[in-house]
Amino acid sequence: MTPKLRRVIGLSLVAITLAVLPFVVGAGLSNTWVRVIDFALLYVMLALGLNIVVGMAGLLDLGYIAFYAVGAYVYALLASPHFGLHWPVWVILPLGALLAGVAGVLLGAPTLKLRGDYLAIVTLGFGEIVRIFMNNLNAPVNITNGPQGIAGIDPLSIAGVSLGKSVEVWGLTIPSVHLFYYVFLVLTLLIIVVSMRLENSRIGRAWVAIREDEIAARACGINTRNMKLLAFAMGASFGGVAGGLFAGFQQFVSPESFGLLESVMVLCMVVLGGMGHIPGVVLGAVLLAVLPEALRHIAAPAQQAVFGKILIDPESLRMLLFGLALVLVMLYRPAGLWPSPTRKREFDKAAR
Amino acid sequence: MKIQFKGLTVAMIAALSVVACGKKEESQPAAAPAAPAVPEVVVKLGHVAPLTGPQGHLGKDNENGARLAVEELNAKALEIGGAKVKFELLSEDDQADPKQGTVVAQKLVDAKVNGVIGHLNSGTTIPASKLYSDAGIPQISGSATNPKYTDQGFKTAFRVMANDVQQGKVLGEFTTGNLKAKKIAIIDDRTAYGQGLADEFEKAVKASGGEIVAREFTNDKATDFAAILTKIKGKKPEVVFYGGMDAQAGPMAKQLKTLGIKAKFLGGDGMCTPEFIKLAGDAAADSQYCSLPGMPLDKLAGGAAFKETFTKRFGGEIQLYAPYVYDAVMVMADSMKRANSVEPAKYLSEIPKTDYQGVTAKIGFDEKGDLKGGAISLYQVKDAKWAYLETLGGAPAAAPEAAAPAPAAAPAPVAAPAEKK
Amino acid sequence: MEIFLQQIINGLTLGSIYALVALGYTMVYGILGLINFAHGEVVMVGALVALSVIKALAASALPGPVVVLFGALVAVVVCMLLGGAIERVAYRPLRHAPRLAPLITAIGISILLQQLAMLFWGRNYHAFPPILPASPHSVFGASITDVQILVVVLAGLIMLGLTQLINRTRMGRAMRATAENPAIAQLMGVDINRVIALTFVMGSALAAVAGVMVSANYGIAHYHMGFMLGLKAFTAAVLGGIGNLPGAMLGGLLLGLIEALGAGYIGDLTGGFLGSHYQDVFAFAVLILVLVFRPSGLMGEKVSERA
């Protein structure tokens, strides 16, 4: 079998699996798991966006979730009873991505001269500032409706078909969660393709150069300032897209979904999966998105069976495992679970 | 970029087969076939609350209330639509997280439950209510107080206790009326609950002629209020109102005392807990008041009996909303009885017509699904305990026939809500 | 006028609390160049350990102040052990790794400590017993309590003590050398592993003291108290010049004043548009402004870009 044929077969198998996944999962487990997969896809998009900033360009961003928030609120403000606007999806999503990108440039601009640790803290500060503003911009002019959040957001609708309800196609009823899955899947694949193209382009190589040694990169003629801003903007725009989809999916946004913990979670996904390596990042995102649900299904009954009561509730267990995973991965596999071969070499050389 | 296709495809096929051969979740509709022998039909009631996390003790309390109701109903062996009915409680944990709430709601919708009791927090009840409304599953909450829940106009959304609009109104009128205060300062913790309650309080105060001299804000994780309290001190208020939880109200009371602010301190149900008294320490004084929806259990007809049964069954005290959740289940069952059907489509129309004497109050619903005439009770700190003061608003529930209501000494409900939305 | 004075006092007290925590932060950063995210959690552990000890001894016949002192002492010891362990297990192996690694590890440790504290002490907020009489003294119409005075005095004393340690003792010299250039210091015979471990241990001891004082001041201790406090303290340290001890003190006091005065007056100044709900934003805004325009802080020396 020639390599080309193998690739074609492999790709088609993957494609078929992805295409029927929701139906298999829905029938085999339940629709709840399809919903979990939908959220996992959103996280994949987020992780890929953060991957550009942290993994490729090496800029530690602890406030990334702010861009997710921007995208979500843009959608919420333009397609809900809050302002009475009901713009179509194909206008709002790109607009959200654009605004998030602008936010990325704005937040990135002051940080250009900062080194790793300081950059992390400043971006953390920015993330918190965005969240506090979202939480409080309801007086004197009610923009974000404050802590109550915005409810009743229009569900995503493609070509006039609302995804909020199930759809009849050729006698088959496709539930709403499945429809969202397909839309998210298409966009995720799009983002993956864009990431891959960026990685293998001059821009991607410039980012890696900056990550490795900024002074040398500048000496080679790379415009580090513009490249860094571009990294922030691209990463942020992915986050904005994911945010818009989130608003159209959950139909409710509130500032508490966009806290520091979410930023750390997305960072976890990138770091644990394999910084800078797209398949690794996807793996990390899927794992960490599915983990809480899996823990709830396994940990609680298991503890019940073994100990007769729940010693550590699944939520605490999840956080414990996160913390532990961060430390252990940094100590023993700093390049991540599925790193790119070059990064693995770098980290192995540097550590210990 | 090379991807290891072989490994990947093998992994995917393996995962697919595991999933496909996995346990199928039973989704039986609960229709009652009219068979000759009296058949049995299982009615699944979903119940959602945070069973883990800071409010786990409250969620468990709710679940216990629902469970008690289900057990009592099963003991009665009801017959509805020609079939013997057995109620089953499907209890889920939403961790007070809106995202989790929708996941769990989806789960219950998939399981085709006949009705949902919950959720506990407004922040999770509101987004979840959309899913239930879309699926046509009736939902009765015993503890979500945010007005938005019923404002959305869902035909399936109901609640069996007063909401924050009513609570804020009562508190406002109490402040200008009973406390005879003209200058009032308001602080809220910028959560959906705190800010909502404070806004309603402000409206009520202004409407009854009071003046808001200061409106300050903090957050639900802060402990230092010196700056905002000092600012308030400068405006010389007679009453300081805090919309938020006991964890902040306690240190706030302390700091009010340290700064020498002589105003009375007032709060909503988030403050009405023994935790507040503990955290305020020796700053707890009889110038502090709080409110709770409903009436103290001892003042209600079925109250004392319910308390005894509950404590005997589950041990430990009632935290806060268990009686309301109990009533919610009973109302649902009562509606099913009146419709003579356990199918959501059929008994949904009976719920608005409810006129049921519950443990907490006489329950009837208005057009939005809110409790008609919700009562609010006020409490005052006396001897390092919350002591019952009076009840405002609401239709009077049937008073206990035998015992005369004890004066201002009814024990306050034991509760320690850490964060409510 | 007395309102303004009271806000100043509020700011100074709050600032001293930040300073207490910032001193530990700045010591560690000065030597290792590492933001120890877990520092705030060590503060929290100190407070909760002290609380447990005090509660356990409350029934005994020992007089109040002795119980408190004993509780603080146990807290200091526990935190010193904790700090030493964290350094040994999580930071030492990563000393030569890229900058990202110890930072992420620190975040992981912070999460771990929070969760373990929550499991051990529960999620509730605990009331911390008053260690000094709570009745305030009146100063020109403003009030201040004994505990608040103690916090300010303690912060000052500790800062002075540490400065003496760093500048006058052999160990201090070794610390400065390691901070300057670890490789050369090692060549000069300094056992940098010991020095670094000692710095961590001292920083953690400071954190324990800070924890006890914070809890005593507000009368409350809980598993989440360390996070925001640590962040604000780090802001204070950066404001004053990271690695600089008097700078940490100055930064802390300044930050406290900015927050108190900001919360007190910004509402009136902006006509209600901004208000006390943006209190945390002030701290972050200060941080960002300082880092962008004067990264070496108010009292720090100009630090050249490390490659």
Q: Which of A229-238, A323-332, A341-350, C8-17 has the lowest mean pLDDT?
A: A341-350
Whether C269 contacts chain A with CB within 8 A: no
pLDDT score recorded for residue B25: 37
Please determine, for residue B302, whether its predicted confidence score (pLDDT) is greater than 60. Answer: yes
Please determine, for residue A153, whether its predicted confidence score (pLDDT) is greater than 60. Answer: yes
The predicted model gives C289-294 an average pLDDT of: 83
φ, ψ dihedrals at C173, nearest 5° = -65, -40
Count Cβ–Cβ pairs < 8 Å, chain B vs chain C. Answer: 101
Q: What number of residues does chain B have?
A: 421
φ, ψ dihedrals at B235, nearest 5° = -95, 0
The predicted model gives C106-124 an average pLDDT of: 88
Contact between A118 and B115 under an 8 Å Cβ cutoff? The reply is no
Whether B9 contacts chain A with CB within 8 A: yes
Whether C114 contacts chain A with CB within 8 A: yes
Q: HEC string of chain A?
A: CCHHHHHHHHHHHHHHHHHHHHHHHHHHCCHHHHHHHHHHHHHHHHHHHHHHHHHHCCCCCCCCHHHHHHHHHHHHHHEECCCCEECCHHHHHHHHHHHHHHHHHHHHHHHCCCCHHHHHHHHHHHHHHHHHHHHHCCCCCCCCCHHHCEECCCCCEECCEECCCCEEECCEEECHHHHHHHHHHHHHHHHHHHHHHHHCCHHHHHHHHHHHCHHHHHHCCCCHHHHHHHHHHHHHHHHHHHHHHHHHHHCEECHHHHCHHHHHHHHHHHHHHHCCCHHHHHHHHHHHHHHHHHHHHHHHHHHHHHHCCCCCCHHHHHHHHHHHHHHHHHHHCCCCCCCCHHHHHHHHHHCC
- Residues with Cβ within 8 Å of residue C164, at least 6 apart in sequence: none
Q: What single letter denotes the amino acid at residue A27?
A: A
pLDDT score recorded for residue A276: 85
d(CA A118, CA B332): 57
Higher pLDDT, C208 or C142: C208
Q: Which of B306, B276, B287, B296 is nearest to B377 (CA)?
A: B296
d(CA A320, CA A299): 13
Strands (E), chain C: 126-127, 137-139, 142-144, 220-221
Q: If you average pLDDT over every residue of chain C, what do you get?
A: 86
Higher pLDDT, B294 or C216: C216
pLDDT score recorded for residue C62: 79
The predicted model gives C217-240 an average pLDDT of: 87
The predicted model gives B241-254 an average pLDDT of: 90
- Contact residues, chain B, for C262 at CB < 8 Å: 227
pLDDT score recorded for residue A350: 57
Contact between B175 and B167 under an 8 Å Cβ cutoff? The reply is no
Helices vs. strands in chain C: H and E counts, helices first: 11, 4
All domains in chain B, ordered by first residue? 40-161+300-363 (3.40.50.2300), 165-293+376-392 (3.40.50.2300)
* Nearest-CA distance A28 → chain B (Å): 5
Facing residue for C3 by CB, picked from B218, B230, B275: B230
Q: Which of A30, A29, A45 is nearest to A289 (CA)?
A: A45
The predicted model gives A51-66 an average pLDDT of: 90
pLDDT band, very low/low/confident/very high, at B253 (cuts 50, 70, 90):
very high
Q: Which of B269, B256, B208, B264 is nearest to B228 (CA)?
A: B256
Read off the pLDDT of residues B96-110 as tens digits, 9 standing for 90 and up. 777 778 878 888 888
Contact between B298 and B275 under an 8 Å Cβ cutoff? The reply is no
Please determine, for residue B151, whether its predicted confidence score (pLDDT) is greater than 50. Answer: yes
Higher pLDDT, B134 or C251: C251
d(CA A181, CA A37): 8
Q: Which of C5, C20, C43, C30 is nearest to C252 (CA)?
A: C20
Facing residue for C109 by CB, picked from A113, A275, A323: A323
Q: Do C264 and B230 count as a contact with CB atoms less than 8 A apart?
A: yes
Distance (Å) of CA A198 to CA A206, A221, C56: 10, 19, 61
* Nearest-CA distance C62 → chain A (Å): 35
Read off the pLDDT of residues B75-88 as tens digits, 9 standing for 90 and up. 888 888 888 888 98
What residues of chain A, 288 to 317, have a C-beta less than 8 Å from chain C?
A: 312, 316
The predicted model gives A75-91 an average pLDDT of: 88
User: What is the ipTM score, two decimals?
Assistant: 0.86
Whether the CA torsion A178, A181, A185, A186 is positive or negative: it is positive
Read off the pLDDT of residues A1-33 as tens digits, 9 standing for 90 and up. 688 888 888 888 888 888 888 888 777 767 778
Interface of C with B (CB under 8 A): 3, 6-7, 10-11, 13-14, 123-125, 127, 130, 134, 136, 143, 145, 218-220, 222, 224-225, 228, 259-265, 267, 275-277, 279-280
pLDDT band, very low/low/confident/very high, at A193 (cuts 50, 70, 90):
very high
- Contact residues, chain A, for C291 at CB < 8 Å: 114, 118, 121-122
pLDDT band, very low/low/confident/very high, at A216 (cuts 50, 70, 90):
very high
pLDDT band, very low/low/confident/very high, at B419 (cuts 50, 70, 90):
very low
Distance (Å) of CA B46 to CA A71, B88, B154, B314: 34, 8, 18, 20
Whether B221 contacts chain A with CB within 8 A: no
Q: Do C136 and B260 count as a contact with CB atoms less than 8 A apart?
A: yes
Fold entry, domain A3-350: ABC transporter involved in vitamin B12 uptake, BtuC (1.10.3470)
d(CA A19, CA A39): 17
pLDDT band, very low/low/confident/very high, at C274 (cuts 50, 70, 90):
confident
String of DSSP letters for C236-288: HHHHH-TT-HHHHHHHHHHHHHHHHHHHHHHHHHTTTSS-GGGHHHHHHHHHH
Those chains having 3 or more beta-carbon pairs within 8 angstroms of chain C are: A, B
pLDDT score recorded for residue A169: 78
φ, ψ dihedrals at B239, nearest 5° = -135, 135
Distance (Å) of CA A78 to CA A136, A201, A239, A257, B192: 19, 35, 18, 19, 22
Q: Do A351 and C94 count as a contact with CB atoms less than 8 A apart?
A: yes
pLDDT band, very low/low/confident/very high, at A137 (cuts 50, 70, 90):
confident
Query: Taking the mean position of all CA atoms in its chain, how far away is CA A115?
Result: 24
String of DSSP letters for B128-181: HHHHHHHHT--EEESS---THHHHT--TTEEESS--HHHHHHHHHHHHHTTS--
d(CA A66, CA A236): 9
Contact between C148 and C155 under an 8 Å Cβ cutoff? The reply is no
Facing residue for B22 by CB, picked from A13, A29, A148: A29
pLDDT band, very low/low/confident/very high, at B414 (cuts 50, 70, 90):
very low
d(CA C300, CA A293): 48
pLDDT score recorded for residue B54: 65
pLDDT winner (highest mean) among A39-53, B222-236, B311-325, B374-388: A39-53
Read off the pLDDT of residues B49-70 as tens digits, 9 standing for 90 and up. 987 666 777 788 888 899 999 9
All domains in chain C, ordered by first residue? 2-123+142-293 (1.10.3470)
- Contact residues, chain A, for B8 at CB < 8 Å: 10, 14
pLDDT score recorded for residue A139: 72
- The tokens describing C262, both together, are 């900001």
Q: Which of C275, C91, C112 is nearest to A146 (CA)?
A: C275
Terminal-residue alpha carbon distance, chain C: 51
Query: Taking the mean position of all CA atoms in its chain, how far away is CA A64?
Result: 9
Percent of chain A residues past pLDDT 90, beyond the cut: 33
d(CA B224, CA B220): 11
pLDDT score recorded for residue B404: 36
A69 burial via Cβ count (<10 Å: 0-12, 13-18, 19+) = buried
d(CA B250, CA B420): 16
**Radius of gyration in angstroms for the set of CA atoms belonging to chain C, rounded to a whole number:** 20
pLDDT score recorded for residue A308: 67
d(CA B13, CA A18): 11
Please determine, for residue A244, whether its predicted confidence score (pLDDT) is greater than 50. Answer: yes
pLDDT score recorded for residue A349: 62
What residues does A162 pair with on adjacent strands? A157
Neighbours of B183 (CB within 10 A): 15
B211-217 and B183-188: which strand pairing? parallel
Q: Do B123 and A315 count as a contact with CB atoms less than 8 A apart?
A: no
**Which residue is it, tokens 């109040």?**
C64
pLDDT band, very low/low/confident/very high, at A164 (cuts 50, 70, 90):
confident
